[in-house]
Amino acid sequence: MAQKPGIPKGTRDFGPVEMAKRNYIFNTIKEVYALYGFQQIETPSMENLSTLMGKYGDEGDKLLFKVLNSGDYLKKISDEELAERNVLKLQSKLCEKGLRYDLTVPFARYVVMHRDELQMPFKRYQIQPVWRADRPQKGRYREFYQCDADIVGSDSLLNEVELMQIVDTVFTRFGIRVQIKINNRKILAGIAEVIGAPEKMVDITVAIDKLDKIGLDNVNLELKEDGLSDDAIAKLQPILSLSGSNDEKLATIKTVLSDSETGLKGVEEVKFILDTLKTMGLKNEMQLDLTLARGLNYYTGAIFEVKALDTPMGSITGGGRYDNLTGIFGMPGLSGVGISFGADRIYDVLDALDLYPKDSINATQVIFINFGDKETAYSLPVLKACREAGIRAEIFPDAAKMKKQMNYANAKHIAYAVFTGDSEIEAGKVTVKDMEMGGQKLVSTEELIAIVSNGTKIAKEA
């Protein structure tokens, strides 16, 4: 008995409708990236393990998919080493390559390898799959796409401003209402500095995040249990009670951080970004959020996160400023800032809110019904003219029963069907049927093209 086929856990097949939706997402993001001067690159699915290992921490190293060497991969392994069953030691000899874990490390490697060819600042975008040997669960896959854009080789905050405009433009085009949250790593470092507890920064941000759920008194109690002194907690109160507009929040933070040069620098950076964006007429709200603490060890300046407002979902876009992208490959000092759209989560949000344009899903606009050789020979030039006019058109390949052909058209949600019989051939025209309204009409090729192109409705005659 043949074995039932399957796919690895944490991976997915995508059918025609799903691919149409995904391509709508990718194409929209690509178009906006291009508007801002970003250029597309791609890197190999496989990288040398020496490129990947040690870049994501011990846990990240464990989640790398390793690729077994080609040929006699046991040639360099002794019987004693096999008997030892030392997995890490064996992996280093059996595997020289791995599937990429993200797009950032391959991008850093690309910049270092091609630095003499690149015009700085370099604005790149990359939309490719990545792989992680994680435990699959709802919303978490072993293979998924990232949609990254980065600007490297420039310290200017205008880059942060442009990236926020990109985020606003993309989600406006999707029709998704979002809130764009902004914070700054320097502000977080400044808070830790002025209360004398730099090692407690994560505990502080976690506590601030719980304010709405457990209230100020319980947050203070939790901070005390985490080891913060009464004096440190007292200094935190203006931050914990932070409210009002972005400008009012910044004024409060500036007062609290008056003795921290680093913190004041963060306030200045956030103020520039927000003030500049005020003149840009964004469609979505920007909110200063001190609970935002993405990648504390990675980001060094502004940090961003985007949440959908009309459906429960985690972060659907994130990013920030980093100071040393290429230092891991021996080229220190290259600053950059980037964002990444979460394509899979955006897919779910568009699905939940039913925001996919019909045209992005219905591939074929018109189908020519096949009545036989003579009718097909007459239809083919008309079919060709439709395609030349940019209409997505097909002909049923077999002269099957009408019911089968119409069921095919309905299953694919094709808007129009074209019939050609003796009377149509004699008149030099075709009959077009509106599959939704049920009406039909005898038309010329030019009229057919106009009807389908404009989506003209043909009602049934009374």
What residue spans define the domains of the chain?
363-454
Nearest to 157 by CA among 321, 392, 386: 321
Q: For the domain bounded by 363-454, which CATH number is listed?
A: 3.40.50.800
- Do the annotations mark residue 298 as ligand-binding? yes
* Lookup result for tokens 């030019």: 446
pLDDT of residue 47: 95
pLDDT of residue 418: 97
**Contacts for 348 with CB less than 8 Å, ≥ 6 apart:** 139, 313
- Do the annotations mark residue 102 as ligand-binding? yes
pLDDT of residue 146: 92
Q: What are phi and psi of 244, to 5 degrees?
A: 95, -165
- Do the annotations mark residue 299 as ligand-binding? yes
- Longest CA span, the chain: 95
pLDDT of residue 364: 92
pLDDT of residue 441: 94
- Confirm whether pTM is higher than 0.75: yes
pLDDT 10s digits, 192-237: 888 887 777 777 777 776 776 788 888 888 888 888 888 888 888 8
pLDDT 10s digits, 323-373: 887 888 888 888 899 999 999 889 989 999 999 987 777 789 999 999 999
pLDDT of residue 73: 67
CB 95 within 8 A of CB 61: no
pLDDT of residue 152: 94
- Do the annotations mark residue 103 as ligand-binding? yes
* CA–CA distance, 374 with 376 (Å, rounded to integer): 5
Chunked in runs of 10, what are the mean pLDDT values of the chain (462 residues)? Answer: 86 90 96 97 94 82 84 69 66 82 92 93 96 83 93 95 98 97 92 81 74 81 84 83 90 91 96 96 94 72 94 89 84 90 92 88 90 96 97 96 96 94 96 95 96 93 74
pLDDT of residue 92: 67
pLDDT of residue 215: 82
